[in-house]
Amino acid sequence: MTSLRELTHKEDYLTGGHRLCAGCGHSIATRQILMAADAPVVVGCATGCLEVSTTIYPYTAWKCSFIHNAFENAAATISGVEAAYNALRRRGKVDSEFRFVAFGGDGGTYDIGLQSLSGALERGHKMVYVCLDNGAYMNTGIQRSSATPKGAWTTTTPVGKVDSGKPQKRKDLTAIVAAHGIPYVAQASISNWKDLQSKATKAFTADGPAFLNVLSPCPRGWRFSSDMTVKMAKAGVQTRFWPLFEVENGEWKLNVKVRDPKPIADWLKPQGRFKHLLAPGNEELLAEIQDDVDANWDRLLRRCGVTE
């Protein structure tokens, strides 16, 4: 794996001066991932926070080939570019190595872009798809997505006398992608940069499609101070809400064994979107959320063949 010293000397494909919110996890994740590329990259980016904040015409924060595509078709776009590149290589018109990567938020990946993503994975394109998961449609006003955790406040799952935030559990997209049988799938967090770097390197060198699902905290939507972004990501790992694991050629592997986890309430408490859960009367819902986290962890351990 690339050392920290080596990383400091690598060129950033995403520069400073963009318009992402202070403390946004997207720029941290994107820079870390692209530093792992071993060849020039072509980036496809779904409409969303990352795209609108880095490519406001006539400016761009990207120092690589960049394609803005619609909300729902980032995977289709970059798979098409990869197919065109291979056709040009067969004709002898291109001899340089390139890597192909698509970025999308959870709205454009879990929901609107799932069909496009599934198709690209099934076809077997040599590409990396990165989901920057901040748990809602943040760019359009903090609406719930299928990645939004149970109990979270959003503008479409308000908290009041009738409802206590989103009533449904979040979708396990990483497992859904792993079910496609592609060479490499991983779940990562910006708080564990060595782990993320290692997984990005494996993704770029995989012989076929690769997928990274990265926890990317959003100060605006999660309602926390912008200086706490990495701490929030770390707490997500330490409470087992966001386990770090990878699936290489069908083999599941747990990367971080959280043996003495913190209660999920420790992760929820600093986030304004969950403040109602800590109020009297919501003890049962809070217990349900903890039970869901514990059940998901136990299921992951069985898949990885690990015992506590």
Domain locations along the chain: 4-304
Q: Which helix (H) or strand (E) holds 286?
A: helix 283-304
Question: What pTM did the predictor assign?
Answer: 0.96
Distant-in-sequence, close-in-space partners of 58: CB < 8 Å, separation ≥ 6: none
- Residue 5, pLDDT above cutoff 80: no
How does pLDDT run across 35-65, given as a tens digit for each residue? 999 999 999 999 999 999 999 999 999 999 9
Task: Provide the 8-state DSSP code for 135.
Answer: S
- For the chain, how many residues are written? 308
> pLDDT band at residue 287, thresholds of 50, 70 and 90?
very high
Q: Which residue bears the tokens 């012989």?
A: 207
Q: What is the pLDDT of residue 280?
A: 93
For residues 239 and 264, the answer to whether their CB atoms sit within 8 Å is yes
- Residue 294, pLDDT above cutoff 70: yes
Burial status of residue 33 (CB atoms within 10 A of its CB: 0-12, 13-18, 19 or more): buried
- Report CA-CA distances (Å) from 48 to 92, 100, 130, 159: 36, 19, 13, 25
> pLDDT band at residue 260, thresholds of 50, 70 and 90?
very high
User: What homologous superfamily does CATH list for 4-304?
Assistant: Thiamin diphosphate (ThDP)-binding fold, Pyr/PP domains (3.40.50.970)
Q: What is the pLDDT of residue 11?
A: 81
How does pLDDT run across 180-220, given as a tens digit for each residue? 999 999 999 999 999 999 999 999 999 999 999 999 999 99
How does pLDDT run across 100-146, given as a tens digit for each residue? 999 999 999 999 999 999 999 999 999 999 999 999 999 999 999 99
- Residue 4, pLDDT above cutoff 90: no
Q: What is the pLDDT of residue 32?
A: 95
Taking all residues of the chain, what is their mean pLDDT, rounded to a whole number?
96
- Residue 2, pLDDT above cutoff 80: no
Q: What is the pLDDT averaged over residues 238-250?
A: 98
Q: What is the pLDDT of residue 1?
A: 60
Beta bridge partners of 128: 101, 210
Q: What is the pLDDT averaged over residues 291-307?
A: 97
The pair of structure tokens assigned to 117 is: 């993503």
Task: Provide the 8-state DSSP code for 168.
Answer: S
Instruction: Classify each residue of 36-53 as buried b or exposed e, where b means 16 or more C-beta atoms within 10 Å of its C-beta.
Output: bbeeebbbbbbbbbbbbb
The sign of the dihedral angle between the CA atoms of 296, 297, 300, 301 is: negative
Q: What is the pLDDT of residue 248?
A: 98
Write phi, then psi, for 28 (nearest 5 degrees). Answer: -65, -50
For residues 27 and 18, the answer to whether their CB atoms sit within 8 Å is yes
Give the rounded percent of residues in the chain with a pLDDT score beyond 70: 99
Q: What is the pLDDT of residue 6?
A: 76
- Residue 10, pLDDT above cutoff 70: yes
Q: What is the pLDDT of residue 307?
A: 85
DSSP assignment string, 82-109: HHHHHHHHHTTS--S--EEEEEEEHIII
